[in-house]
Amino acid sequence: MSRQDQPIGVFDSGIGGLTVVRALRKLLPEESIVYLGDTARVPYGNKSHATIQRYALQAGTILGRYRPKLMVIACNTASAHGLGALQAAAPCPVIGVIEPGAEAASRVKGPVGVIGTLATVQSGAYEDAIRRRNPQALIHSLPCPLLVGFAEEGWLDDPITDAVCRRYLNQIPFEVRTIVLGCTHYPTLLNSLNRTRPDTTWLDSGELAAKAVEDLLRGSLGFRTASARGDLKILLTDAGTRLQEVGERFLGEPLDSVELVEL
Amino acid sequence: MSRQDQPIGVFDSGIGGLTVVRALRKLLPEESIVYLGDTARVPYGNKSHATIQRYALQAGTILGRYRPKLMVIACNTASAHGLGALQAAAPCPVIGVIEPGAEAASRVKGPVGVIGTLATVQSGAYEDAIRRRNPQALIHSLPCPLLVGFAEEGWLDDPITDAVCRRYLNQIPFEVRTIVLGCTHYPTLLNSLNRTRPDTTWLDSGELAAKAVEDLLRGSLGFRTASARGDLKILLTDAGTRLQEVGERFLGEPLDSVELVEL
C-alpha cells in the first residue's frame, strides 16, 4: 500500500477525541482512521507531565503497528505534555490539537480566553504556542475540571450545566470575546457555553486540528486514493460502561467495531 | 517486629480513600498505615471488571512489600471488582468497604438506598452483600457519576452542588430514609446531601470499614503495642496537580511525606 493510502492514527486519553474524529470524517471522509483511546487510564487531566508523556509514547507504539501516514494527538492534555516526546519517537509526522488552536487564537484582535483541564492549563502550552506567534497576546486561561464530567453525563441542555459554565466563565473578563475550547469534550457543551456567554467566538481545537490535517495531506503526505468512505477502527484499552452511549454522542455515528488492546 | 506492630495497608484508586484513613486514624490512632493511591490511573469508576481486578492485584503486590497485618481496599469500586482476587492472592487478610456498609444496611428497617460510581452500582456488589444478609431487603441503587468531581473541586457548600445532589437523589423514592454513601468521596459532600434530603441517615462506608478494622484487630490480628501516634506513609502512582490541597481536605491533616511508586 502506498503511503497516502495508509490510515491516520488518532490517539486520545479516552473517548473525547471522538469529537476530533467526527471533524476529520466530515472534512476528509475518504481517509481511514485508527483511533486509540486509553480508556483504562482516562482522564489525563489531573495527571503529571512525566506520566502523560509515558502514556503518549506507549500509545504511539500501538498506533505505529498500523503504519499510519500521520498521527494526531486528539487530546489537549496529551498534546500539552506528550507531543514533543511522541514527535521525537514516531516514524511519521505527529500533530496535536494545541498548535492549530493556538494558531487561530494568535490571529484574534484583543484578548483571548483558553479553557481546559487542570493539566492542560497548568502546562502553559496554549500560552507558549500563542505567544510564539504573537508575543503581545493577552491570554486568560482557566481550568474547568468539572466540564468533562458534564459532557460525559450528557446533561447537555440543562440549567445545572449552565450554572457550572457560568461559574467558571464569569472568571474570564467580559472583554474577552474569543475563547479556545482547549478540551475535546467541550464542543458537546456548546449550547450551554453559548447561553452563558452569548456573542463569544469559540475556537474548537478539534475542528481546527482537522483542518491542519487537511493541510498536511494536501502537502507531502497525500490524500487517500480510494473514493469510498474510509474505515474507522477503534481501539480501546478498556471497554468501560456507557462507552457505547457516550462514544456515539461524541462521534455522531454508531460505534461499530471496538477492539480491546493492552498498553 | 511482631505481627501486631506491622502496618495496615490501605489501597485506593486515588485519594478518596484518605477519608477512610481519616476514620481509621480517629478510631485507631496508634496504628501505622501505608496508603497506596493509584493516582496515575484514577478514577476506576468507569472502568471494567477485568481492568479494576488487575489494578487491585498490582496494588496488593506493592503494599505486600510493607508486610501489612491487614489490607483495606478503601475504594468502593475497587472493592466491588477486586476484593475476591486480592483476598485470594494476598499474604494477609483483606477487607473492602462494601461488606461493612452492606452489613449496616441489611439491619435497616424498610427500604435502603445506595449511591456510588457507575462501576460500583453496576457491579451489584451492594445488592449482593445486603441480600446475603437480608434476602427481603428493598434496595434502590443509583449511580451519581458527577459527585466525585464536585468533591475534588471542593464546591462543598454550594447551590450548584446542592442542585446536582437533588437531581440525583430525587430519583430515589422518598420513603427511603437510609442511604449508603457507596463512594469514599461522598462524605465530604454531606452538607449538600443533608440539605437535599434532610432526615436521612447516611451510612458512611469508610467509617463503617474503620469499625470493621477495629473488630479484626481486637480479634486475632492484634493492636499495635506502641502508644505513640502511628506513622502514615503515602505512596502514589502519580503526583498530580492539586493533590496537596484536595488530599488534605479528605485526610483532615497535612499530607507530609508522599512517595512516588510505579505500578
pLDDT per residue as tens digits for the range A87-128: 999 999 999 999 999 999 999 999 999 999 998 999 999 999
How much is the average pLDDT of A63-80?
97
Helix (H, G, I), strand (E, B), or coil: what is residue B124? coil
Query: Which candidate in A55, A164, A246 is best for mutational testing of the B interface (most B CBs within 10 A)?
Result: A164
User: Is residue B47 within 8 angstroms of chain A, CB to CB?
Assistant: yes
| CATH 3.40.50.1860, chain B: domain bounds | 3-97+207-260, 99-205
CB contact under 8 Å between A149 and B153, yes or no, is no
Q: Could you tell me if A160 lies within 8 Å of chain B, comparing CB atoms?
A: yes
Q: What is the mean pLDDT of residues A213-236?
A: 95
A75, A92, A144, A165: the catalytic one is A75
Q: What is the pLDDT of residue B79?
A: 97
Q: What is the pLDDT of residue B55?
A: 97
pLDDT of residue A256: 82
With bands split at pLDDT 50, 70 and 90, how would you rate the model's confidence at A176? Answer: very high
CA distance A105 to A124: 14
The sign of the dihedral angle between the CA atoms of A30, A250, A195, B156 is negative
Catalytic residue at A165?
Answer: no
Residues of chain A contacting residue B164, judged by C-beta atoms under 8 Å apart: 160
Run of H or E residues at A232: strand A232-236
Residue B241, pLDDT score: 66
Q: Any residues with CB less than 8 A from the CB of B220 and at least 6 apart, and which?
A: none
Surface-to-core class of residue B134, CB atoms within 10 Å of its CB (0-12 exposed, 13-18 middle, 19+ buried)? middle
Q: What is the mean pLDDT of chain A?
A: 95
Residue B152 grid coordinates: 475534588
Task: Report how far residue B167's alpha carbon sits from residue A153's, in angstroms, rounded to the nearest whole number.
Answer: 12
What is the pLDDT at residue A21? 97
List residues forming the annotated binding site of B for substrate: 12-13, 44-45, 76-77, 184-185
With contact defined as beta carbons under 8 Å apart, do B81 and B119 qualify?
yes
- CATH 3.40.50.1860 matches A99-205: yes
Determine whether the interchain pair A47/B238 forms a contact, defined as Cβ–Cβ distance below 8 Å.
Answer: yes
User: Tens digit of pLDDT for each residue in A21-62?
Assistant: 999 999 999 999 999 999 999 989 888 999 999 999 999 999
Contact A51 B42 (CB under 8 A): no
Query: Between A98-106 and A76-89, two packed helices, what is the crossing angle to 10 degrees?
Result: 110
- pLDDT beneath 70: ranges in chain B: 241
Please confirm, yes or no, whether A75 is among the known catalytic residues.
yes
Q: For all residues of chain B together, what is the average pLDDT? A: 95
Work out the pLDDT band at A241, boundaries 50, 70, 90.
low
pLDDT at residue B262, as a whole number: 87
* Residues 6 or more apart whose Cβ sits within 8 Å of residue A174: none
With a pLDDT cut of 70, the percent of chain A lying above it is 100
Positive or negative torsion for Cα A74, B15, B77, B155: negative
Q: Kindly state whether A168 is in contact with chain B, defined as any CB-CB distance less than 8 angstroms.
A: no
Tell me the CATH architecture of domain A3-97+207-260.
3-Layer(aba) Sandwich (3.40)
Say if the Cβ atoms of A238 and B149 lie within 8 Å. no
Mean pLDDT on A178-185: 97
